[in-house]
Amino acid sequence: MINRMILQTRQVVLVPPGPDESGSGAGGSPAPPSSNRYFQLWRALTLAGIVLALTPGALGAANFTATLDADTVAVGETVTLTLRFEGGQPRSIPSLPDIPNLQVVPGSTEHSIILVNGQTSVAFSQTFSLTPTQPGEYRIPALTAEINGQTCASQPVALKVVKPGAAASVPAGDQLAFFKLIVPKKEIYLGEVFQVEFRVYVREGVANAENILESFDRYGGCPLKAEGFSVLKTAHMQHRQARSGNVAYYVATLVTALTPVKTGPLTLGSMDVPLTLQLPSGNRRPDRFDPFGMFQQFEEKHVSLTADPESLTALALPKDNVPSNFNGAVGNYTLTVSAGPTNVTVGDPVTVKIQISGHGALDALALPAQTAWRDFKTYPPTTKVDTTDALGLDGTKTFEQVVVPQSAEITALPAVSFSFFDSDRKSYRTLSQAAVPLLVKPGASAAAPTVAATSHPAQDNAPQSQDIVDIKQRMGTLAQLGPPLVQQPWFLALQGVPVLAWLSAVIWRRRAENLANNPHLRRQRQVAQLVRDGQEELRRLAADNKSEEFFATLFHLLQEQLGERLDLPASAITEAVLQEHLRPRGAPETILTPLQELFQTCNLVRYAPIKTSQELAAIIPKFEGVMRELRQLKL
């Protein structure tokens, strides 16, 4: 069992008490609350020092790290830089260099003592508030600090600052809440993977701000309207505080990985969300149940939020200077190759390990054909992806491939090459590793083993062997033979089984090929099965009174069915498709009205959940009726 205790204190400036702030005031009055707080903090610091001094192994290995609570911000927003020192107290806090257009304000210092099974580790943290005044990319270099005689260095960190959107141009003090899209750049290439941040800002002072941000944390879909893009994955970032103008906001961030699937101008938008904001009431009326005003009263304000759309341009990959082994990889990568064993015999396997590390669509990476390996027999590689971020865009993809040398004249495994398009440099790049030396010995053919015959001495009384066997004089028991198999009906029927099996396989293959060549029909069948299973799931969730899971499943089924009918990605389906796609195609109001009610119910239930199973069960027949009419609708 591991016993773990963490003692954390925050460093403040202690001001000696003046004449009126001593242990007792005039007439022996008790000390003011501020003096009590100073005494309690001083006692905590003293206790921490005693525990640190008396515990053996108090100082662990020194370590120094620098982290930002956000990698991308807009001009005027504040991001927090944290310098963390582990294993002891630094001799001095390193100062940040002067970086043009970046305002730096020192923050607080925190001390932590962690006890694990009698071993103590100490951590110190210093924060800085960084506020950029111009867009661009800022780089905070590696910093050094001396911790218990050891010199430690942090890793450099990068901060990307983008221009403020239209939402930021509105005076922040007039906005209780707003949405914002952060797009890293305006031009992207076909197949390039990039991240878009969807941020929810709620002003400090809104009573239900925490509940609003938590509701977005529970949102499992993609909040973007991304027609023309393929949505890969969405992840949630940690809540933080930021300033926009002179007003502080609580911020929740959803990060989505996208890649364009067509060229030309594209637009990114966000979903429309109605919110109810609770504000402290300024006009407090006397209440006979609360005559002293102990309970805070609130006023509700209803708002509908959406982020301003962002325009992007998707560019086609250049057609000039395309490497011969380019297979569509876009990003920024490095290549390492190793092989072993290197001392083998002809026909022995050699395992080649190829690692491609960097930023991009790692899951989609494929190893190009290595034409120089013509003297080897190759087998399909096995792959493994190790990612270091929540979206799976940074990390390493490992290919392990077995090759077998076919000749003793081979002296090396030819160089491995990999080509990709570098979207930052806007050019193709080819990575290559040097050839791996091999020692291949010729295979030896084993001689057939010689078996020595054991000689036995001749027996004097051995019987003479008979060369001719007597003819059998009696025929023995006779049995009646039936008709031959060729005349048996069951045998003739059995001959038709392979023919029927072959015909069945041909029919099944034809159907499989037709289904493979008709993605619309394949998707239609998959969605039909998904909706049937989903209806059973809705009944189960309604019976169990699981409101959140019920409406999440309902919203997902609506997305899948509408996406199949309109030939759109399911993640791009929102309430807006009713007006943008269904109504222009002549869909009747008998379908549009209940569909709109279902979407609105799914959106509103996050803030006013349905409580009873009966209410949930009443929605299912309405949903099933809409699904039947939608499947029969000719679009």
- Report the top-level CATH class of 331-441: mainly beta
Q: What is the pLDDT of residues 486-498, one digit of tens each?
A: 778 888 888 888 8
Predicted local confidence at residue 351, as pLDDT = 94
Element spanning 11, H or E: strand 4-11
Q: What is the pLDDT of residues 254-307, one digit of tens each?
A: 999 999 999 999 999 988 889 888 888 765 555 555 555 555 677 888 888 999
589-604 vs 613-632: helix crossing angle, rounded to 10 = 140
Q: What is the pLDDT of residues 210-244, one digit of tens each?
A: 999 998 888 888 889 889 999 989 998 888 888 77
Predicted local confidence at residue 447, as pLDDT = 42
Which has more pLDDT, 91 or 201?
201
Q: What is the pLDDT of residues 523-562, one digit of tens each?
A: 888 888 898 898 898 889 888 888 888 888 988 888 888 8
Predicted local confidence at residue 32, as pLDDT = 41
Q: What is the Cα–Cα distance from 542 to 549, expressed in whole angstroms?
A: 9
- Least trusted range by pLDDT, from 3-17, 72-86, 240-254, 609-623: 3-17
Predicted local confidence at residue 193, as pLDDT = 93
Amino acid residing at 394:
D
Q: What is the mean pLDDT of the chain?
A: 79
- The stretches of 546-609 forming alpha helices (DSSP H) are 547-566, 577, 589-604
DSSP 351-419: EEEEEEEEEE-GGG--PPP-GGGTTEEE-PPEEEEEESSTTS-EEEEEEEEEEEE--TT--EEPPPEEE
What fold characterizes domain 166-282+296-315? Immunoglobulin-like (2.60.40)
Q: What is the Cα–Cα distance from 381 to 339, expressed in whole angstroms?
A: 13
- Whether 110 shows a pLDDT value over 50: the answer reads yes
pLDDT-based confidence at residue 27 (cuts at 50, 70, 90): very low
Among 272, 144, 96, which residue's Cα sits nearest to residue 198?
272
The secondary structure of 251-283, three-state, reads EEEEEEEEEECCCEEEEEEECCEEEEEEEECCC
Predicted local confidence at residue 101, as pLDDT = 86
Which has more pLDDT, 417 or 612?
417
Which has more pLDDT, 499 or 468?
499
- Least trusted range by pLDDT, from 105-119, 157-171, 399-413, 503-517: 157-171
Cα torsion through 576, 578, 583, 585, rounded to 10: 100
What fold characterizes domain 519-632? Four Helix Bundle (Hemerythrin (Met), subunit A) (1.20.120)
DSSP tag of 290: B
Predicted local confidence at residue 420, as pLDDT = 94
Q: How far is CA 295 from CA 273, 292, 482, 622, in A?
A: 30, 9, 103, 42
Q: What is the pLDDT of residues 178-193, one digit of tens each?
A: 999 999 889 999 999 9
Q: Where do the domains of the chain lie? A: 1-151, 166-282+296-315, 331-441, 519-632
Phi and psi (nearest 5°) for 313? -125, 125
- Whether 479 shows a pLDDT value over 60: the answer reads yes
Predicted local confidence at residue 108, as pLDDT = 79
Predicted local confidence at residue 485, as pLDDT = 76
Among 271, 408, 399, 289, which residue's Cα sits nearest to residue 336?
399
Collapsing DSSP to helix, strand or coil, 573 comes out as coil
pLDDT-based confidence at residue 437 (cuts at 50, 70, 90): very high
- Whether 463 shows a pLDDT value over 70: the answer reads no
Write the Ramachandran bin of 203: left for phi over 0, alpha for psi from -120 to 50, otherwise beta: beta
Examine domains 331-441 and 519-632 and report if their fold is the same.
no
- Whether 207 shows a pLDDT value over 70: the answer reads yes
Which residues are bridge partners to 187 per DSSP?
313
594: Cβ contacts below 8 Å, ≥ 6 apart: 622, 625, 626
DSSP tag of 17: P
Predicted local confidence at residue 252, as pLDDT = 92
The secondary structure of 164-226, three-state, reads CCHHHHCCHHHCCEEEEEECCCCEEECCCCEEEEEEEEEECCCCCHHHHHHHHHCCCCCCEEC
